[in-house]
Amino acid sequence: MKLKVGLLGGGSWGTTVASLTAKNSPTIIWARDEEIVNEINEFHTNEKYLPHAKLTPSLRASTSIKETVEDADVIVMGVPSQSLRKVLEEAKPYIRPWVPVINLAKGLELNTKKRMTEIIEEILPENPAGVLTGPNLAKEIHFGKAAAAVIAMVDHNIASRLQTVFSSGLFRVYTNDDVIGCELGGALKNIIAIATGMGDGANAGDNTRAAIITRGLSELTRLGVAMGGKKSTFAGLAGMGDLVATCSSSKSRNHHVGFQLGRGKKLEEIISEMNEVAEGVKTAKVVMELAKEYQVDMPISREIYKVLYEGNTVNDAFKGLIKYEVGSEKEPG
């Protein structure tokens, strides 16, 4: 039997994933913008978020959350982190109790500091929650380039069943039972991508980028393990894999934000010129609070936070990191 998919969120990644699942399963995508919904239904395109991409013709779009989720056997959350709670609350009355809810967003909720699957479990305690994550730049996947992802769920049987819904051609989906580690890997790497982007924008060089990626992996692993993730997860697709892709790609929105900061642009100006989300900007705030709570040292994330929110310059961030005492590679810092 083919599982029916209801995906909430019509941006670049939501549309890409819906177009992939539509190859395997009947899929409806919800977007709040009627023009986008009509364009997907009539022309099988979403030019605002995926220019020049042809979507799977069987993909249907709707402006009705009810229509999208009421018959779905799998719900996929494709809206940015700060909107997930509101959209899921709206969908809640129509979602059947046993239906798995899979998060695509890579961020943490401001104020509550919660991961997205924690919010799903809070709103829908009876529904199994999971995350699809990994090195998955939408702008490559929608053109059919090979990529690997991870579906993380506590229940391996459900994850295996969903593997077949999301896997498609060159999009290879592995399973993992470490939901905390996979979800944190995706959220925390965005801050490090802002850091490498900043270095690239300021012409810091390839060695600097490699150092930031490697030491960045070390600090996000420290926090991730303190919060309950498995160390091995951060060496996998959801950790190192996503970190490398995002930190070294001009297609990444987080890298773009950093790059423009490195070129001397102001954050407000950069954000106002983008029509897509860069989750790392808000996640940096949450991560500073978590680092304090779990007493974990995160020097790169801290320097990025100071540039984003305390008026520090890119040069200040560079000096801050250089001043940091060098210890053993196995120790924090």
Ligand X SMILES: NC(=O)C1=CN([C@@H]2O[C@H](COP(=O)(O)OP(=O)(O)OC[C@H]3O[C@@H](n4cnc5c(N)ncnc54)[C@H](OP(=O)(O)O)[C@@H]3O)[C@@H](O)[C@H]2O)C=CC1
Ligand Y SMILES: O=C(CO)COP(=O)(O)O
Binding residues for substrate: 106, 253-254
Q: Please, which residue, 53 or 87, has the CB nearer to ligand X?
A: 87
Please identify which residue in 3, 6, 7, 10 interacts with ligand X, judged by CB under 6 A. Answer: 10
Backbone angles phi, psi at 60, to 5 degrees: -105, 145
237 is in the binding site of which of ligand Y, ligand X, none (Cβ under 5 to 8 A by kind)?
none
4, 54, 145, 189: the catalytic one is 189
C-beta atoms surrounding 316 within 10 Å: 14
Tokens at 4, concatenated: 């029916």
Q: Which of 6, 11, 199, 262 binds ligand X (CB under 6 A)?
A: 11
Q: Number of residues in contact with ligand X, rule: CB under 6 A? A: 27
* 31 lines the binding site for ligand X (CB under 6 A): yes
> Contact positions toward ligand Y, by CB under 6 A?
106, 135-137, 190, 193, 242, 245-246, 252-254, 279
| 166 vs 269: CA distance, rounded Å | 36
Residue 11 interacting entry, from ligand Y, ligand X, none, C-beta within 5 to 8 Å by type: ligand X
Q: Does 13 bind ligand X (CB under 6 A)?
A: yes
Alpha-carbon gap, residue 66 to 174, rounded angstroms: 30
Main-chain phi, psi angles of 63, to 5 degrees: -95, 0
Q: Which is nearer to ligand Y, 25 or 246 (CB)?
A: 246
Q: Which of 5, 7, 9, 221 binds ligand X (CB under 6 A)?
A: 9
Q: What is the closest distance, in whole angstroms, from the C-beta atom of residue 124 to ligand X in the complex?
A: 18
Of the candidate residues 7, 61, 87, 296, the single one contacting ligand X (CB under 6 A): 87
**Residue 290 contact, options ligand X, ligand Y, none, Cβ 5-8 Å cut-off depending on partner type:** none
Per partner kind, with CB cut-offs from 5 to 8 A, the member of ligand X, ligand Y, none near residue 87 is ligand X
The interface mask with ligand X, positions 243-282, x = CB under 6 A, is ---------------------------------xx-x---
Output the smallest distance, CB 106 to ligand Y, in A.
5
What's the token pair of residue 116?
Answer: 């997205």
Spatial separation of the C-alpha atoms in residues 7 and 207, rounded to whole Å: 40
Q: Which long-range contacts (CB under 8 A, 24 or more apart) does 67-72 make?
A: 67/28, 67/30, 68/6, 68/7, 68/8, 68/28, 68/29, 68/30, 69/6, 69/8, 69/30, 69/94, 69/95, 70/94, 70/95, 71/4, 71/6, 72/4, 72/5, 72/6, 72/28, 72/99
- In the complex, the smallest distance separating the C-beta of residue 100 from ligand Y, rounded to whole angstroms, is 21
With beta carbons less than 8 A apart as the criterion, state whether 64 and 31 touch: no
Shortest separation between residue 163's beta carbon and ligand Y, angstroms: 18
Binding-site residues from annotation for sn-glycerol 3-phosphate? 106, 134, 189, 242, 252-254
76 binds, among ligand X, ligand Y, none (CB under 5 to 8 A by kind): none
Half-sphere exposure of 72 (CA within 13 A, CB side): 32
189 as an active site residue: the answer is yes
Give the C-alpha separation, 229 to 248, whole Å.
24
Q: Given the structure tokens 């030491």, which residue do they identify?
A: 215
If contact means CB under 5 to 8 A according to the sort of partner, which of ligand Y, ligand X, none does residue 201 touch? none
Name the site residues for ligand X (rule: CB under 6 A). 9-14, 31-33, 49, 78-81, 83, 86-87, 104-107, 136-138, 276-277, 279
Catalytic residues: 189
